[in-house]
Amino acid sequence: MFTTKDIKQIKELGTTEIRIKQQLDNFKNGFPWMKIVGPATPQRGIKVLNDEEAASAVEYCKKADIKGKSKFVPASGAASRMFKDMFSGLSKLEAGEDLPADAPGTKLTAKIKDFAFYTPELFGGPADTKEYRLDTLRKLLKEDGLAYGAKPKGVLKFHRYANEVRTAFAEHLVEAQEYMRNQDGTCTLTVTISPEHKELFLEAFDAVKDEFEKRYGVKYKIEFTFQDKATDTIAVDPDNKPFRKGDGSLLFRPAGHGALIYNLNKVEEELVSIKNIDNVSHEKLLGVTAKYKQVLMGCALQLRDRIFAFLERLDKEPSVQLCNEIEDFLDRELCVQIPLTRSLEERVELLREKLDRPIRVCGMVKNEGEPGGGPYIIAGKDGCTSLQILESVQINKNDAGAMAAMSRATHFNPVDLVCCLRDYKGGRFDLLKYVDNEAGFISSKSFEGRELKALELPGLWNGAMSNWNTLFVEVPIETFNPVKVVLDLLRPAHQG
């Protein structure tokens, strides 16, 4: 199947022929559908805290013993999708057409002064003419202007203040000092970026580092990491044969955010907050954002300490009564139901395996039409149930039961997670051991006008964390303010 040249290319990528053949088998055989028991809802699966419980979680977070805190920010990839409609509008204008009044390009140029990246020197106007729309979109997207169509979201100017303009990355720095500060006054951030964007991020950091450290009395420790090329997956043609480029070489593609589990696995700190680069708001919402991030952290630490206590008791005094207590806890708090087993030894072994895992607490917001994975209770291959975040592509549209569960879902995941990465003896978990490798998915793409099929690894907050202990907690919609398209920056959460 593979030529000598192919094998050399595979080795240079840092992967193996065995791994690539497994990927080809995945294309041919597909991935098994998740067996959905039902949606996670406030009735079962999503914890809804009252004001007193939320305050208690915040207080627990402030007093808990933590071996370091870190903010993990997925920030790779250019902002091309953010400006997709603008590129389309520019193409029409360059072809001599004008844009209708309701076109995204027209809306942007009419409101140009409301964007943080606006300067009168560059954009002038606004003016309701085809020529102004053409000039504005060119200056926004092209190299002789801002070149925003080719830059990463993290370095784009998102928010304007009285005396400064902040990028999305700068807002993450402000957030970090508010709720992720370590006892020694440091804030640690791991930011996953593309290698070609490193200089842009370094420039964005240098532009605010001294001012922010002085203003907030903090010391930033930033690590920019790259998605390992060895995690790229092979592409195939519609017949599941390896896709070859014009020069005959194999085509490999980035395998989605699931590849970042390798980056997360290198984080030294115990408590990690995960939030996408584009999910930031104007500082006027920092209070509610920080409060509920601390709520999630407090819930994670409360869960950690309860699990640690159970494991220590299992070490000292395993008993039927203790097993009953643990099974009740797993069922009630984490929706984990355990099959009946025959002996005390079997129960202890299974319960220890279920408890001694990394922990994630995921914020869930009420579904108001925003995109995001959904929270579900699923039945696993071992007969146990668990809480999982599923993307729509992972749900069998031909399964009436699965579709009924999807229709009853009340919340979605805004990628707002807190993770505990150490075990009850203080050691670091090897996160790669807790990935469900059968939770990947296949998508349709194209390359140079030719159709292909791409393979994505189990998503970072989906299958890559499938075998973690999971808790879902409701958070306000005000904490979720993603910028998927540039016009999202006109929403109230991004305006002063």
- DSSP annotation string for 272-332: EEEE-TT----GGGHHHHHHHHHHHHHHHHHHHHHHHHHHHHHHH---HHHHHHHHHHHHH
Cis peptide before 126 (omega within 30 of 0): yes
CA 259 to chain centre: 11
Task: Provide the whole-model pTM.
Answer: 0.93
- Domain extents in the chain: 4-79+154-494, 81-150
Closest CA to 200 of 169, 175, 221: 169
Confirm or reject CATH 1.10.3210 for domain 4-79+154-494, answering yes or no: no
Would you tell me the crossing angle of helices 198-216 and 168-179 to the nearest 10 degrees? 40
Residue 367 — φ and ψ, nearest 5°?
A: -75, 110
Map residue 224 onto helix, strand or coil.
strand
**Residue 171 corresponds to which tokens in the numbers above?**
């807002």
CA distance 388 to 34: 10
- ∠373-378-381 over CA atoms, to 5°? 125
pLDDT at 239: 94
Closest CA to 290 of 157, 418, 156: 418
pLDDT in tens, 401-422: 989 998 899 999 888 999 999 9
DSSP 17: H
Q: What is the dihedral of CA 335, 341, 345, 346, to 10 degrees?
A: -70
- In this prediction, the residues of the chain whose per-residue pLDDT falls under 50 are none
CA distance 170 to 280: 10
pLDDT at 371: 52
**Residue 308 corresponds to which tokens in the numbers above?**
């640690």
CA distance 487 to 496: 15
